Amino acid sequence: MPKLEVNVDHVATLRQARLGAEPDPVTAAALAELAGADGIIVHLREDRRHIQDRDLQLLRQTVKTRLNLEMAATPEMLEIAREVKPDLVTLVPEKRQELTTEGGLEVAGFIGFLRDYVQKLREGGLRVSLFVDPVNKQLDAALEVGAQWVELHTGTYAEAASPKEAQRLFEELLSAARHARSLGLRVKCGHGLNYTNIKPFRGRPEFEEFSIGHSIMARAILVGLERAVREMVELIRG
């Protein structure tokens, strides 16, 4: 059964707009779990623009499903991950100026560095996923550096200019997922997925899990978080 992990960064973005206490991403995570989410994701950024260290600590204590920590491969984040012990660490590229993560991690070009970094995470008892573009070279490299999971970047698919282009990009994701699984990697996907463009993924066992934030939170503002999560769970599971 495909799984949905809900990213609660946007709740923290709203809180940080006033530098106050509300809305609290920890409360949102609990509600998302009650509505059927299989996991909670946060991206602790170097600049702490949304999720704060306090959120991560509290989520580690309160999340009852699984906690997936997205982070850049930096020494500071290595220390935090080894201390907090999320259920999964997802390594992502990070740029200060970007509005959101802009592309997959360049794994093939940094095999030595990433093998070392992943090994340190795994020595700390952590499971590791790499957020990558749906390109075989990056998937082969993910296996080489010791990751157990890959998250295929669906952003390009989500921004396709036409239905035909979306179909082509979906086939690319499908083929990448098949390649990753043939290597023994587990496959998630995420970025830019919404209540419409998720539909082709349904019934495709190649994609085990979905990581979704913005579209769920955008809908939640209008219809409530519980309903927004439940509707996405229904779309994914059919």
Binding site for ligand PXP (CB under 6 A): 7, 9, 43, 70, 90, 92, 100-101, 131, 151, 190-193, 211-215
Cβ nearer to ligand PXP, comparing 26 with 129: 129
Please identify, using beta-carbon distances, which residue of 26 and 42 lies nearer to ligand PXP: 42
Work out the angle at residue 109's Cα, subtended by the Cα atoms of residues 108 and 111, and round it to the nearest 5 degrees.
Answer: 65
The 3-class SS string of 124-192 reads CCCCEEEEECCCHHHHHHHHHCCCCEEEEECHHHHCCCCHHHHHHHHHHHHHHHHHHHHCCCEEEEECC
Residue 123 or 193: the one with the smaller Cβ distance to ligand PXP is 193
Residue 23 or 213: which CB sits closer to ligand PXP?
213
What DSSP element (H or E) covers 78? Answer: helix 75-84
Least Å distance, CB 205 to ligand PXP, is 20
CB atoms within 10 A of CB 5: 24
Give dist(CA 130, CA 148) in Å, integer.
Answer: 9
Query: What is the identity of the amino acid at 179?
Result: H
